[in-house]
Amino acid sequence: MVAKKGLGLSLGRKIHKARIESEARGETFYQGPSRGDLMSFPPKELWNNWTELDSKSWPDRVEKHYSLVPTTCFNCESACGLLAYIDLETNTVRKFEGNPLHPGSRGRNCAKGPATLNQVQDPDRILYPLKRQGKRGEGKWVRVSWDEALDAIALRIRNAINQERTDEVVCHIGRPGEDGFTERVLASWGVDGHNSHTNVCSSGGRAGWHYWTGIDRPSADYANAKVIFLISAHLETGHYFNPHAQRIQEAKEKGAKLIVFDTRLSNTATHADYWLAPQPGSEAAINLSIANYIISNKLYHREFIRRWWNWSEYMLEVKGVADAKFEDFEEALVEQYAEFTFEYAAAESGVDVSTLAEIAALIASAKTQLASHTWRSASAGNLGGWQISRTLLLLNALLGAIATEGGTFPNAWNKFVPRPIHVPPHPAKWNELSWPVEYPLAMNELSFLLPHLLEDGRGKLDVYFTRVYNPVWTNPDGMAWVEALSDEKKVECFVALTPTWNESAYFADYILPMGHASERHDLMSYEQYNGQWVSFRQPVLRAKAALEGRVVTDSREHNPGEVWEENEFWIDLSWRIDPTGEMGIRKFYESPNDSSRKISVDEYYSYIFDNSIPGLPETAAKENIKPLEYMRRYGSFEISRNVGQIFEDQIPDSELTDSVVSSMDRVYSPSPKPVGKNIVPMGDPDPDAQGRRPVGVKVDQELLRGFPTPSGKLEFYSSTLAKWGWPEHALPGYIKSHVHPQSLASDEMVLISTFRLPVQIHTRSANSKWLDEIAHTNPLWIHPSDAKRLGIDNTDLVRVSTEIGYFVVKPWVTEGIKPGVVACSHHMGRWKLQDHGQRQLMRTVTLDHSGRNWHLNPKEPVKPYESEDPDTLRIWWGDVGVHQNLTFPVHPDPISGMHCWHQAVTITKAEAGDVHGEVFVDTQKSRDVYNKWIDMTRDARDVSPNGQRRPRWLMRPLKPVAKAFALPSPKGTTDALPSDMPKV
Amino acid sequence: MSGFEYLAETLRACAEIADNPQLGTPMRDLFGLGDFPDFEYTDVFVLEIVPDAAIFLSEEAVLGGEVQERIVGFHRALGIEQVDDPTGLVGQLRNYASLLESVQENLAEPSRLAILNRVRSTYLLEHILVWLPTYLSYVESLFPKLTSWSQAILDVFATETKELGILEWNLEPSALANRPNLRDVGGKYGLEVFAAPYITGFIVSKTLLRTLGQKYNVAPRLGTRKFMLSSMFQQDASAMLELLTEAATMQMERWSALEADFGLPLKSWRINAGIAIEEIQSGRSALLAGS
């Protein structure tokens, strides 16, 4: 029998008391191995002095003592929490593990997080500012001081600003750091020079979202979904795969069904309940067939649609029916999508009718608990790819699964961008090199067209920054980039801000070393569940010193060599551009405590943490510490959970003074916009003719917040698309891809080139030896039936020929790819022109050219080498794949501006003399393709309904003042801007 | 009765002890653990027999499998949040603590309480009593330092068994209803059968083999339990049969003592242990032949 009767209850009382007392002191009573989430995390109150046995001393039991300092991963875009284990004896980082307090990643990391250690310790990394000596690309460098580099660059920028050449300063952003930081720097200079990578990344996916909701990303509440629908390989890669994948897995454990569209048998596909491998580009046709099923069987959420779709605008503008009844719209809806039968979708996609019917029924059964997601994937591959995300959201909108538990949210409601101390005004001058007039509806800058726009003679660049970006390698048409960056008349000064060597940096004038995840400050927030959080990236050794009470004023003091962080770099550079304050720039960088000196990052973040993050000061006060110390100590803070349907919020009375309701039920008010703490970007609908701002929408006699769209509702019908030249695409629809079978020659196949490998991230992770060992090559996936037809097996080499050239690659014959489609992964084929530089994943090549014919020839494979790291002698791989992007011409979607990555290619056996990794490109042909795609656009000068070059309400990084939106005139030039902005 | 939150607190604290290799002083003091270094924790909860229902309730004594599916299905059917380790000791203690907390929160809602009580009863009979009392009693016998810990859990579940009237049901849990014994399986599994408490009714762990091995002069070799059994039988089969008889006898007495509090599940364990003793003693030659 049980010997101690009553023990459970009496002990429970004591434990309960002890727990209450312990938690009142801010301690973690049930520390567990990871506070319940993972199996091995130390409780936060022990982070100051954490003891572990030294694995290298085994079997001796030698204790190591660590200080655990949080930061945020800087590899992919997920911004997962990391904990740096700083050896208290040597004051060096010994390892990185997950931060269990991070609300998004919850202590979990993929391989790239811990591999930050490799990047920090990389023997080939760039440690000092370098200046080019000799010709561009020649490979001769001299170490210079930061002062010398900064003064020279500042002088150029100062002159450009003073001479009103602000459009000659451009910063090309790769891995995003802190939301809006670089935009605000450029805005403070008055420069419309932000050039994101987004149009080679996610513009297609964003556009479909933006036209519907006024917000440009999805945030699915996976954990509570009944059905999860991914058009992507989202369990293994992408925005924001690690935090999302763990929640998808939770939902699956609760019985949710997972549907995955992926032409490859990806890791994600292997976890799906339904894996569909549709013909690339046919995804929207499938989505519409599911929509048709839902509509024709009346399975949609009638009340949600009636309240929140802009159906009356559609009936008025398209059907010409004023005061239409909802029933009329329902009839029109049936008619609109009737052609998209399962049979039609099956013919387009190659997926059989019964499977389509089965998933349609499953999706309909989810009702308001459908979590859907696409980001890059098909939306980034195809002409009209933006309609794939638009039709995907159509399914959510039909089911009312918008911002519901288990549904899909607009991202801005699950994200928090705290207001900083200064928000400089918008720049006054439009940058034609980033936002050409042919693309009035582009979601982001046409950054990947820069070499062609320069060659068109649309301008030149005085200073061109790349910031953790590698355009030569990452963008399509890399040889056009080599040509542009080699031409000092087009790009006068090229400054590469990079932690590591890359293909573009070789053509730079200055290479300025930037820190990795544990060597820089940023404040991050991403939509990863139905809640909002911020996470602090910080130089961990500096943070440790600060937590120990030491005063640190410059991150370089604790970083290796002279590696810096961007925040301090931009502050310093801005100060040097305007040292006296006469240009109006310096005021944004002065210390709030002493205007004679620069603002420190401590002051910058103290302002944000003290003033702009609800709840943080109170939480920190409970521990008797300042908010900055709280963030330095714990690294992240959750602001809210269960955000809900913000569009249903009542408009506060304070915003309704003298308000009016338009004929389409839009509510306008002359009240000034409240200054919010969260400045997350979203659409900004135009004011009415009297200048009153839209504050909401009238729904069933209630004045509600609505969506940031022109109508205030979900825009099933996009008046923006209709009025700006694309009325035929104003509704969610199907655009046949440029690689649609009808467009392919008989010997052509579709090449999918965009998929990532779970352990690498673009070119940035190449200096991670652990990751390189796992993944270092990119064979061409080809189905056995195609291999047989072409007479290819795994021992061959093949030539893959595109519109502008070819590359030579090893085939991988596998049933994991759809017949008629080949695939070659991202990340690989890294190269360098000189022997120095990154040596673990970059082979040495020669780059020969004759006229516009470029030939990249592998010279030396990757091989073991001696360095301060003994592991470099253990490199066993030599094959690092092929740089396929060089052979892709630009394919800018004429509406979204997204580069359409999929390629029509021919596959042949390699010819005599062909070498694996070899690439040939004719950049004259790439010019021809560029011109062909430009011809597909509808120029704002031809279609603008109001004299502007772009709808003002659309999101745009670094949006200029209204005046700068005026169309250029005459057609074909970029000057002679009218002095007055036409009235809206 | 009320006070469910305190019973839950006890289970959570006990889960913490089984989950955290580096306990803080307050927790060690509450349970009278004294110095309980991380290597001792590792001996008990990592290197010793794995505290997981699947090990105790499957013929092959393996993790996962049907036992896990059964409990995961049970969780899913009831909408209980899945824990990482649904069949493990820690997961079950935390799950049951959550149930008790729900009961406490719903004391004023009779209809909800009735549902919770049904869930609680089923969970207790079908998934807890089927293995946990035997495991706890066994740990207590080998690691006296953990007596307060094991007694606290046993007392919570004995209180629950009484409160819910489980003994009056006189119902054998489905997991034990068609349980084979050593006589049923014969030589099917060879000597490895002694690593399967589900069949033999008694627990053979590494510590037990080390401890009794010294007494019977059979040297344990480090490895899996099956490997240890095999190597020790190779050294001295006869001594090993005596060793196993002693272990089974000792444990059968413990199961018998727990029957008053936990009823049929413990009876099932006692019966199987008894059969095992008979089989070992009467069927020595067959078992040795099987080896």
The model's pLDDT over B234-263, given as tens digits with 9 standing for 90+, comes to 999 999 999 999 999 999 999 999 999 999
Note whether B164 and B58 are same-domain residues.
yes
- Residues on chain A touching B5 (C-beta within 8 angstroms): 12, 16
Q: Residues A667, A712: contact at Cβ < 8 Å? A: yes
Q: Within an 8 Å CB–CB cutoff, is residue A63 touching chain B?
A: no
Q: Within an 8 Å CB–CB cutoff, is residue A741 touching chain B?
A: no
Note whether B132 and B55 are same-domain residues.
yes
Sequence-ordered list of residues with C-beta below 8 angstroms from that of B6, at least 6 positions apart, any chain: A8, A9, A12, A13, A15, A16
- Give the pLDDT band (50/70/90) at residue A449: very high
Residue A633 CA to residue A635 CA, distance in Å, equals 6
Give me the residue from A2, A16, A22 closest to B158, CB to CB: A2
Note whether B8 and B109 are same-domain residues.
yes
Residue B61 CA to residue B93 CA, distance in Å, equals 21
| Range with the poorest average pLDDT among A217-221, A975-979, B279-283 | A975-979
Hey, are the CB atoms on B3 and A19 less than 8 Å from each other?
A: no
Give me the residue from B10, B24, B260 closest to A8, CB to CB: B10
The predicted pLDDT at position B47 comes to: 84
What is the rounded average pLDDT of the residues B164-192? 91
Residue-range definition of the domain harbouring residue B147 = 4-175
Q: Which residue of A has its CA nearest to B160?
A: A8
pLDDT reading at B117 higher than 80: yes
Amino acid at A2: V
Q: What is the pLDDT of residues A244-274, one digit of tens each?
A: 999 999 999 889 999 999 999 999 999 999 9
Chain A residues 240-279 within an 8 A CB cutoff of chain B: 250, 253-255
Give me the residue from A3, A16, A255 closest to B76, CB to CB: A255
Q: Within an 8 Å CB–CB cutoff, is residue B163 touching chain A?
A: no
Give me the residue from B7, B16, B81 closest to A8, CB to CB: B7
- Residues on chain B touching A22 (C-beta within 8 angstroms): 26
The predicted pLDDT at position A27 comes to: 74
Hey, are the CB atoms on B16 and A32 less than 8 Å from each other?
A: yes
Our CA-based measurement puts residue A927 at a distance from the nearest CA of chain B, in whole angstroms, of 56
Hey, are the CB atoms on A15 and B261 less than 8 Å from each other?
A: no
Q: Residues A501, A126: contact at Cβ < 8 Å? A: yes
Residue A92 CA to residue A331 CA, distance in Å, equals 68
Note whether B20 and B76 are same-domain residues.
yes
Beta-bridge mates of residue A132: A141
The predicted pLDDT at position A976 comes to: 39
From B125, B140, B175, give the residue that closes a domain. B175
Q: Directed axis angle between helix A283-296 and helix A386-399, to 10°?
A: 20
Residue A894 CA to residue A38 CA, distance in Å, equals 47
Residue A604 CA to residue A253 CA, distance in Å, equals 43
State the best of B4, B5, B9 to mutate against chain A, taking most chain A CBs within 10 Å. Answer: B9
What are the start-end ranges of the E strands in A842-941?
A: 843-850, 853-860, 903-909, 919-922
Hey, are the CB atoms on B19 and A33 less than 8 Å from each other?
A: yes
DSSP code per residue over A33-90: TTTTTSSS---GGGTTSEEEE-GGGTTS--EEEEEEEEEE--SSTT--EEEEEEETTT
Give me the residue from B9, B82, B155 closest to A5, CB to CB: B155
Q: Residues B94, B129: contact at Cβ < 8 Å? A: no
Hey, are the CB atoms on A1 and B260 less than 8 Å from each other?
A: yes
From B120, B146, B175, give the residue that closes a domain. B175
What is the rounded average pLDDT of the residues A898-913? 97
Hey, are the CB atoms on B21 and A33 less than 8 Å from each other?
A: yes
From B175, B201, B217, give the residue that closes a domain. B175
Q: Which helix (H) or strand (E) holds A722?
A: helix A719-723
Within 10 angstroms of residue A182's Cβ, the number of other Cβ atoms is: 23
- Give the pLDDT band (50/70/90) at residue B286: low
Residue A96 CA to residue A113 CA, distance in Å, equals 7
Q: Residues A884, A798: contact at Cβ < 8 Å? A: no
Compute the count of residue pairs across chains A and B with CB atoms less than 8 Å apart.
90
Note whether B122 and B217 are same-domain residues.
no
Q: Within an 8 Å CB–CB cutoff, is residue A32 touching chain B?
A: yes
Note whether B15 and B116 are same-domain residues.
yes
What ipTM is given for this predicted complex?
0.90
The predicted pLDDT at position A536 comes to: 98
Q: What is the pLDDT of residues A359-411, one digit of tens each?
A: 999 999 999 999 999 988 999 999 999 999 999 999 999 999 999 999 999 99
Hey, are the CB atoms on B76 and A254 less than 8 Å from each other?
A: yes
- Domain CATH number, residue B17: 1.10.3480.10
What is the rounded average pLDDT of the residues A650-655? 95
The answer to whether the bond into A344 is cis (omega within 30° of 0) is no
Backbone angles phi, psi at A619, to 5 degrees: -65, -40
Q: What is the pLDDT of residues A828-877, one digit of tens each?
A: 999 998 877 788 999 999 999 999 999 999 999 999 999 989 999 999 99
Q: Within an 8 Å CB–CB cutoff, is residue A24 touching chain B?
A: no
- Give the pLDDT band (50/70/90) at residue A983: very low
Note whether B171 and B201 are same-domain residues.
no
Q: Within an 8 Å CB–CB cutoff, is residue B154 touching chain A?
A: yes
Residue B157 CA to residue A96 CA, distance in Å, equals 41
pLDDT reading at B283 higher than 90: no
Hey, are the CB atoms on A8 and B260 less than 8 Å from each other?
A: no
The predicted pLDDT at position A355 comes to: 98
pLDDT reading at A37 higher than 60: no
Note whether B211 and B106 are same-domain residues.
no
Classify residue B59 by burial, with Cβ atoms within 10 Å: 0-12, 13-18, 19+. Answer: middle
Hey, are the CB atoms on A32 and B21 less than 8 Å from each other?
A: no
Q: Within an 8 Å CB–CB cutoff, is residue B155 touching chain A?
A: yes
Q: Which residue of B has its CA nearest to A223?
A: B81
- Residues on chain A touching B152 (C-beta within 8 angstroms): 4, 7-8, 11
Q: What sign does the dihedral A37-A40-A41-A43 (CA atoms) show? A: positive
- Residues on chain B touching A1 (C-beta within 8 angstroms): 257-258, 260-261
pLDDT reading at A977 higher than 50: no
Give the total number of structural domains in chain B.
Answer: 2
- Give the pLDDT band (50/70/90) at residue B288: low
Q: Within an 8 Å CB–CB cutoff, is residue B156 touching chain A?
A: yes
Residue B268 CA to residue A741 CA, distance in Å, equals 68
Give me the residue from B3, B82, B94 closest to A254, CB to CB: B82
Beta-bridge mates of residue A495: A465, A510
Quickly tell me which residue has 């420190």 as its tokens: A600
The predicted pLDDT at position B76 comes to: 79
- Give the pLDDT band (50/70/90) at residue A656: very high
The predicted pLDDT at position A33 comes to: 63
Q: Within an 8 Å CB–CB cutoff, is residue A870 touching chain B?
A: no
What is the rounded average pLDDT of the residues B39-46? 87
Note whether B55 and B141 are same-domain residues.
yes
- Residues on chain A touching B76 (C-beta within 8 angstroms): 254-255
Give me the residue from B9, B159, B257 closest to A15, CB to CB: B9
Q: Which helix (H) or strand (E) holds A545?
A: helix A540-547
Q: Within an 8 Å CB–CB cutoff, is residue B124 touching chain A?
A: no
DSSP code per residue over A213-261: HSS--EEE-GGG-SEEEESS-TTTSSTTHHHHHHHHHHHHHTT-EEEEE
- Residues on chain B touching A18 (C-beta within 8 angstroms): 26, 30
Note whether B30 and B149 are same-domain residues.
yes
Q: Residues A96, A518: contact at Cβ < 8 Å? A: yes
Classify residue A865 by burial, with Cβ atoms within 10 Å: 0-12, 13-18, 19+. Answer: middle
Q: Within an 8 Å CB–CB cutoff, is residue A22 touching chain B?
A: yes
Hey, are the CB atoms on B30 and A32 less than 8 Å from each other?
A: no
Quickly tell me which residue has 């105790």 as its tokens: B56
Strand order in the sheet with A805-809: A811-813, A780-782, A821-823, A748-752, A903-909, A798-801, A805-809, A919-922, A853-860, A843-850, A831-832
Q: Residues A236, A421: contact at Cβ < 8 Å? A: no
Note whether B225 and B282 are same-domain residues.
yes
Residue A478 CA to residue A980 CA, distance in Å, equals 40
Hey, are the CB atoms on A254 and B158 less than 8 Å from each other?
A: no
pLDDT reading at B190 higher than 50: yes
Note whether B198 and B126 are same-domain residues.
no
Q: Residues B201, B272: contact at Cβ < 8 Å? A: yes
Q: Within an 8 Å CB–CB cutoff, is residue A25 touching chain B?
A: no
